[in-house]
Amino acid sequence: MLKEMLENVREHRPLIHNITNYVTVNDCANMLLACGGSPIMSDDADEVEEITSICAGLNINIGTLNRRTIPSMLSAGKKANELGHPVVLDPVGAGASVLRTRTALQLMEEVRFTVIRGNVSEIKTLANGSGTTKGVDADVADVVTGENIGQAVSFAKSFAAKSGAVVAITGAIDIVADADRAYCIYNGHPMMSDITGTGCQLSSLVAAYVAANPGRELDAACAAVCAMGVCGEIAHERLQSLDGNASYRNYIIDAMYHLDGETLERRAKYTLTDA
């Protein structure tokens, strides 16, 4: 299954429209190219509808959101809905400010998202309508572990049911769920959190995977999350004694560039829970 998802990305080379933050935008673009997709970044209200129309999918990331780009997110999202394009939401820092929480909730109200991907604190904020996210990282109290995974899966499924989107909660253990089924994914490496923007890159990747695999949103999002985790592992194995987070960043993108379906299938570690 994962193999097919990955190969569809490489075959169809989906063009992904990203309205995203200026911190990690370059890495998102290179990650999209690495996976076989193609990026375009555009955030002006005067062109976003048109740009999203020529694309296969849209990725909305609210990091460094501002009053100029919020209306662009809304119109691009609505246009993508109208055209039946998949739309991904990355609610970066939802819970850390009223502006971020309110914008994420407004986006969810006005745009139908195919996938919502965030850390557990961000997703809890969206589910509860408010939150206390510490910056852009998950609160320790929220973290998904072997102990509370059952609860976390139920939460993800019920938020997926409520939102109508596939929900991807990523962290040490990743959960990718729709209303009925949930994947728990055990790939990745803790050092990935020492790089800025691995979450943002993953959201771009998810957009490419769902765009290239229409009608199979859950599986496609799962494949993207597995791919990112596997690349985090491959890149970590490559680290030499002097390499730190900057080299690791490059190696993860490099690993995605070379990732093939067989390797993804062989290295992916996940379980599937049905309703």
Q: Please identify, among the stretches 57-65, 111-119, 168-176, 204-212, the one whose residues bind a second copy according to the rule CB under 8 A.
A: 57-65
Q: Please identify, among the stretches 14-22, 73-81, 110-118, 148-156, the one whose residues bind a second copy according to the rule CB under 8 A.
A: 14-22
Per CB under 8 A, does 104 bind a second copy? no
| Strand, helix or coil for residue 142 | helix
Strands 57-61 and 15-19: parallel
Q: Output the CA torsion sign for 224, 228, 234, 238.
A: positive
Candidate list 2, 5, 80, 96; residue touching a second copy; CB under 8 A: 96
Q: Compute φ and ψ for 151, nearest 5 degrees.
A: -60, -45
Candidate list 9, 58, 65, 179; residue touching a second copy; CB under 8 A: 65
Mark residues 174-213: x for contact with a second copy by CB under 8 A, - for none. Answer: --------------------xxxx----------------
Candidate list 2, 6, 8, 43; residue touching a second copy; CB under 8 A: 43
Contact at 8 Å (CB) between 24 and 200? yes
Positions in 112-171 near a second copy (CB under 8 A): 134-137
Contact at 8 Å (CB) between 52 and 85? yes
Per CB under 8 A, does 41 bind a second copy? yes
Residue 242 tokens read as 């002097």
What is the smallest separation between the CB atom of 224 and a second copy, expressed in angstroms? Answer: 17
**How many chain residues touch a second copy (CB under 8 A)?**
63
C-alpha closest to that of 61 among 130, 122, 140, 121: 122
Question: What DSSP string runs through 166-223?
Answer: EEEE-SSSEEEE-SS-EEEE----GGGGGSTTHHHHHHHHHHHHHHHSTT-HHHHHHH
Per CB under 8 A, does 55 bind a second copy? yes
| C-alpha–C-alpha distance, residues 56 and 63, integer Å | 22
Per CB under 8 A, does 82 bind a second copy? no
What is the smallest separation between the CB atom of 239 and a second copy, expressed in angstroms? Answer: 10
Classify the phi-psi angles of 65: left when phi > 0, otherwise alpha if psi is within -120 to 50, otherwise beta. beta
What is the smallest separation between the CB atom of 51 and a second copy, expressed in angstroms? Answer: 5
Residues lying near a second copy in the complex (CB under 8 A): 15, 21-27, 29-30, 33-34, 38-47, 50-51, 54-55, 63-68, 93, 96-100, 134-137, 194-197, 238, 242-247, 249-258
